[in-house]
Amino acid sequence: MDDSPEFFGAADGGHAGPAPVQPYRVLARKYRPRNFAQLIGQDAMVRTLANAISRDRLAHAFLMTGVRGVGKTSTARLIAKALNCIGPDGAGGPTIEPCGQCEPCVAIGEGRHIDVIEMDAASHTGVDDVREIIEAVRYAAVSARYKIYIIDEVHMLSRNAFNALLKTLEEPPAHVKFLFATTEVDKLPVTVLSRTQRFDLRRITAPMLKDHFAWICQQEDVEAEDEALAIVAAAAEGSVRDGLSILDQAIAHADMASDGKAAIVTAAQVREMLGLADKSVQGRMLEDLLGGKGAALLDGVEQQYALGVEPVALLRGQMELVHRITLHQLAATATEAGLKGARGEAAAAADGDIVEQFAARLGAAQLHRLWQLLLKGYEEVRTAPDPLVAAQMALLRVMHAADMPDPGTLARQLESLTAGAASIAAGSVDPETSRQGQAVVPATAMSALTVAASPPPSWADLVAQVEDAGMLQAGQIMRDWVRVVALTQGSLVYRPAPGYDEDLRTELRDALSRATAEPWTVVLAEAGVEAQPSLGEAAKAQAQAERDIVRNAPLVQAAMAAFEGAQLMEDAEVAAVHERKWHRA
């Protein structure tokens, strides 16, 4: 019985109704690579596969690993196509460029080929699931050249499942190929890794992602600003799937054009969608931070927080701005030296007036110090119970530390102050001239010089402080095994005494810092450097000298000559003799 619409008739005179509306397919599925030419960023792997196919050196098992969204499962399906393609005329063989028209290519692309079995190891983890594979591999492929098993997230298989698969994986039938995909290759047993040909899929670079997203927008009849695509590419963190998901959301978030036909994706809308601070806002915040404008800085943080920008995103935006400024400086230096590479060109292309201005103002030491302070603040904000308060305090701390001179500048200032003080002390500079500003040494500098000119600490006193602080073992080591090469306030250069080969730097630094409540730098001198004897060695040498004085005394010499066989007993030995006599009594 015919149950077609024509048989039953239709309300509009027997004509069939409109075709059903196809559901929307997200960009990550719609633009999944259909051939190796569309697989971006994996040229080395494609070249290896092409050579293996052309030389008929195909492995029986392949392992694709990499971060999420770089194309592991898509690559496995493309390999399945390449191995089973028969060409439009049905007479082709394995090829790195599958036709996409023959029945195997079409069926594999639609996921319905009977000889290409996909299994999700996350939901099929047991040995029973693997036992089904072991039983099925004995039978030849139904219609394809190879029977192919694609196992996604293979690291989720249990240990027993891996053990059950090992023998089949090592010596499978000639008509069977295994394709594994995983994001956590470290969880796979070594026995499995040794039986597969491994491909590490690379993280896709931001410029390559940006070009790919621009092509997709063109295919989708969507207008997008270059800066908007750059933001999406940076947020993707090397993952094509993540980037396409963000781009899909950005297109839905974008406003329609005036003609109502196409969406326009702008950078401002993408920042608003992702909760990122605007570049101009980041520049103003850095300007307030460097200028010591605490009230304006906190006001900017409050405004961004009210707009929905997370405090941790504010800190990350400042870190990215400092990073871009640093790259801009390096790119300029590399350009002058003729060594500018792809990364430098990309950094220079992405820089605006704000970055150029800061790059001209700030030095490398300031940028590195800003980065360290912001990084510490970022970690605090990320784990703080109140992120907003933590972000405010972190930025204020960076603001107060931003204008501090670096250690090199401090050292140069100290040298100049020392030279000025020495000139005044020697009378080579007239006090009246000093008062006129030609060689003025401030009172604070003189106090610093007084501290610097104070005598170095005594090693014996330091050891006593360590022992008084309760660190008896460390004090004993310092007495017996440490030979001092150089000692100043807060700095120790040493050599270990013969017979002690362990590195004592960490233990000495911790003990001295705890005992003196000051930071210490401990350096191990090279072998052969002249060093003072340890306190234990000095004490033994002094005791031996005292014994020699007693032995060489005339009265002792006369007594030993009068009593043949007499010996000079040490104090400890005398005490031991008396103790033995007391016990016998």
Q: How many CB atoms lie within 10 A of CB 76?
A: 24
Cα 389 off chain centre by: 27
Q: What is the DSSP string of 76-93?
A: HHHHHHHHH---TTS---
CATH number of the domain bearing residue 55: 3.40.50.300
Q: H or E segment at 116?
A: strand 116-120
Residue with the two structure tokens 């600490």: 457
Q: Is the distance from CB of 145 to CB of 114 less than 8 angstroms?
A: no
In angstroms, rounded to a whole number, what is the distance separating the alpha carbons of residues 176 and 160? 22
- Name the DSSP class of 441: -
Local confidence pLDDT in tens for the 585 residues of the chain: 444 443 333 444 444 555 555 678 888 888 888 888 888 888 888 898 889 888 888 889 999 998 888 888 888 999 999 999 988 888 888 888 898 889 989 999 888 899 999 998 888 888 888 899 999 998 888 888 999 999 999 999 999 999 999 988 888 888 999 999 998 888 999 999 998 999 988 888 888 999 999 999 988 888 888 888 988 888 888 889 988 998 988 888 876 655 555 668 888 888 878 766 666 778 888 888 888 888 888 998 888 888 778 888 889 888 988 998 888 888 766 554 444 444 444 444 444 677 888 888 888 888 888 899 999 999 999 999 999 999 999 999 988 886 666 666 666 666 666 665 555 555 544 544 444 444 444 444 444 444 444 566 788 888 888 888 888 888 888 888 888 888 888 888 888 888 777 888 888 888 888 888 888 888 888 877 788 888 888 888 888 888 788 778 887 777 777 777 677 666 555 555 555 544 454
What angle separates helix 364-383 from helix 387-402, to the nearest 10 degrees? Answer: 160
> What ranges in 206-310 are assigned the alpha helix state H?
206-219, 226-236, 240-253, 267-274, 279-291, 294-306
Residue 239 resides in a domain: yes
CATH number of the domain bearing residue 255: 1.10.8.60
Residue 423 resides in a domain: yes
Residue 7 resides in a domain: no
> For the CA atoms of 49, 50, 54, 59, what is the dihedral angle to 10 degrees?
0
Instruction: State phi, psi for 120 to the nearest 5 degrees.
Output: -90, 110
Nearest to 96 by CA among 142, 148, 56, 54: 54
Q: What is the pLDDT of residue 333?
A: 61
In angstroms, rounded to a whole number, what is the distance separating the alpha carbons of residues 270 and 247? 9
SS3 202: coil
430 and 348 part of one domain: no
Residue 526: which residues within 8 A CB-CB, separation 6 or more?
Answer: none
344 and 437 part of one domain: no
CATH number of the domain bearing residue 348: 1.20.272.10
Q: What is the pLDDT of residue 90?
A: 83
Strand pairing of 176-182 and 482-488? unpaired
196 and 252 part of one domain: no
Nearest to 71 by CA among 249, 248, 238, 218: 238
175 and 40 part of one domain: yes
In angstroms, rounded to a whole number, what is the distance separating the alpha carbons of residues 48 and 79? 12
> For the CA atoms of 370, 371, 376, 377, what is the dihedral angle to 10 degrees?
60
Nearest to 321 by CA among 296, 293, 284, 291: 284
Residue 582 resides in a domain: yes
Give the type of residue at 374.
Answer: L
Q: Which of 172, 200, 228 is the last residue of a domain?
A: 200
Q: Can you name the residues that pair with 523 across neighbouring β-strands?
A: 493
In angstroms, rounded to a whole number, what is the distance separating the alpha carbons of residues 304 and 387? 13
Residue 258 resides in a domain: yes
Q: What is the pLDDT of residue 380?
A: 92
Residue 12 resides in a domain: no
In angstroms, rounded to a whole number, what is the distance separating the alpha carbons of residues 519 and 538? 28
307 and 419 part of one domain: no
Domain total in the chain: 5
In angstroms, rounded to a whole number, what is the distance separating the alpha carbons of residues 465 and 517? 11
In angstroms, rounded to a whole number, what is the distance separating the alpha carbons of residues 289 and 398? 7
Q: What is the pLDDT of residue 539?
A: 86
Residue 524 resides in a domain: yes
Q: What is the pLDDT of residue 401?
A: 81
Q: Which of 274, 298, 329 is the last residue of a domain?
A: 274
Q: What is the pLDDT of residue 445?
A: 42
250 and 342 part of one domain: no
In angstroms, rounded to a whole number, what is the distance separating the alpha carbons of residues 577 and 567? 14
Give the type of residue at 261.
Answer: K
Q: H or E segment at 505?
A: helix 505-516
159 and 258 part of one domain: no
In angstroms, rounded to a whole number, what is the distance separating the alpha carbons of residues 515 and 527? 28
121 and 55 part of one domain: yes
331 and 226 part of one domain: no
Query: How would you list the strands of the sheet with 491-496, edge to edge?
Result: 482-488, 491-496, 521-524
Cα 448 off chain centre by: 40
Q: Which of 200, 218, 251 is the last residue of a domain?
A: 200
265 and 351 part of one domain: no
**Strands (DSSP E) along 122-230, which ranges?**
147-152, 176-182, 197-200, 223-224
Inter-CA distances, 118 with 36, 73, 74, 354, 357, Å: 20, 10, 12, 51, 55
Q: Can you name the residues that pair with 521 across neighbouring β-strands?
A: 491
Domain range enclosing 362: 279-402
Tokens of 109: 């692309």
Query: How would you list the strands of the sheet with 116-120, edge to edge?
Result: 116-120, 147-152, 176-182, 61-65, 197-200
Tokens of 459: 């090693």
Tokens of 373: 């302070």
In angstroms, rounded to a whole number, what is the distance separating the alpha carbons of residues 528 and 551? 35
Q: Is the distance from CB of 413 to CB of 405 less than 8 angstroms?
A: yes
269 and 311 part of one domain: no
Residue 14 resides in a domain: no
Nearest to 522 by CA among 503, 497, 500: 503
Q: What is the pLDDT of residue 260?
A: 56
34 and 183 part of one domain: yes
Tokens of 544: 């031996």
Residue with the two structure tokens 């993280």: 203
